[in-house]
Amino acid sequence: MRENPVHPHRLQQLVASVPESITAEQRARLLAHVQTSDGCRARADRVRHELRRVLDGAEGGADRAVDLACELDSLERVQERVDGWLGELVDELTHTPRVVHYDDGVPA
């Protein structure tokens, strides 16, 4: 089942919910996910614009339009996946695991 794409503003809100206290390694992971999501979205926008130009008859032809449509479809599917990964990472970084200590001193 395909996930719905996450609106960029919602992604910004999610990322902003991550505490400042995360480690440098966690911050680097978060930044890599954000950059990947942003880069994919920008690339899809460029391909979408180019496809519109081709379909309007400005340049290219039928083969170019099909190639662009396939690339756009792929980017949109990848965007959903990347946004899902980002959401999962934000969940991981914002939810501290609950640790229960019993009398034996070993966390459960």
Tokens of 60: 């290219």
Instruction: Please list, residue by residue across 56-93, b when 16 or more beta carbons sit within 10 angstroms of its beta carbon and e when fewer do.
Output: eeeeeeeeebeebeebbeebbeebbebbbebbebbeeb
Give the model confidence (pLDDT) of 82-108 as tens digits: 999 999 999 999 986 555 555 666 555
Give yes or no for residue 6 having a pLDDT over 90.
no
Closest CA to 78 of 31, 25, 28, 42: 42
